[in-house]
Amino acid sequence: MKYARAKLAVLALSALFATQTWAIGGFNLDLNKIISAGKNLGEASKDVSEPEEISIGEGMASVLLGAAPLAKNEALQRYVNQVGRYLTLQTERPDLPWYFGVLDSNSVNAFATPGGHIFVTSGLLRKMRSEAELAGVLSHEIAHVLRKHHLAAMKKAGGMGFLADVASIAVEQKGGGGYGKELSKNLISGMKEVMVRGLDKGDEYEADRMGIVIATRSGYDPYGLPAVLQTLEGLSGSSDVSLLFSTHPSPDSRLDTLSGLMQSNFDHYQGQSVSDRFRHLVPNGAKN
């Protein structure tokens, strides 16, 4: 399967990049102090093991890839993975099999699936102006995975049947069937329902707050995500953003919700850029 090959190549590359991390002084933001108590965390995770979570996410990723193929630009796919994997190293779940993909679609959107599969459309990438904006969007999606928002929403949609369906994945795995092979019809319809209906507004606001923390911790300008939200606001009414708008609170209300947090915690980091890190940490380095 084409997707599996692409994924393997990406994982091999990501492993390479993972060894090239560096510590950043001064960015000791405490995620837990800034985010809310995390009402969904634990609720879904008590019942679903991490391998099951990853399996569900792989199934959901193939549903997404059935709707839009990966963009045929290896350098771009590699780059988005490099940025995304670096961001995940600043989180409490760095060891998930994170995978980032650019979907070839004019629709302006980004998606996350349980277990660490994250997709951004080429339509959304074309609206961005900087790596900080990309990092802001990817961090928002990473936060959904960390908080298991989709898993909780699927559990809610599937009711009691959800856990039985998840258990069937485990049975299949024990029988040597491997993860992510065939998900039940119920699970797939639950996923589709969540994709079409979207998550709770509260989960979206939480992912915005956490996303800004993750991007800032990684050395990016915290205003990357708010800048994208401003761009989205300007696209209101376009058919390219209709799914995004129907599944998320309006960009305006997201910006409003973020404004208090931004002013009190992040102004200090505004304008920081990963590319300036060397200068920051080696101020006496050679001048060109």
Interacting residues with Zn ion (CB under 5 A)? 204, 207
Compute and round to an integer the Cα radius of gyration of the chain.
Answer: 19
| Residue 38 in tokens | 């995390």
Q: Closer CB to Zn ion, residue 158 or residue 251? A: 251
With respect to Zn ion, which residue has the nearer C-beta, 204 or 221?
A: 204
Structure-token pair, residue 194: 């969540």
Distances from the Cα of 101 to the Cαs of 62, 178, 183, in angstroms? 12, 23, 21
User: Least distance in Å: CB of 199 to Zn ion?
Assistant: 6
* CB of 58 or CB of 204, closer to Zn ion: 204
- Shortest distance in whole angstroms from residue 9 CB to Zn ion: 27
Nearer to Zn ion, 142 or 207 (CB): 207
Closest CA to 119 of 187, 58, 70: 70
Minimum distance from residue 211 beta carbon to Zn ion (Å): 9
Query: Which residues partner with 117 through β-bridges?
Result: 99, 113
Main-chain phi, psi angles of 103, to 5 degrees? -85, 135
Tell me how far, at minimum, the Cβ of 204 lies from Zn ion, in Å: 5
- 58 or 208: whose CB is closer to Zn ion? 208
C-alpha 164: how far from chain center = 27
Strand, coil or helix: 144: helix
Interatomic CA distance for residues 157 and 163, integer angstroms: 11
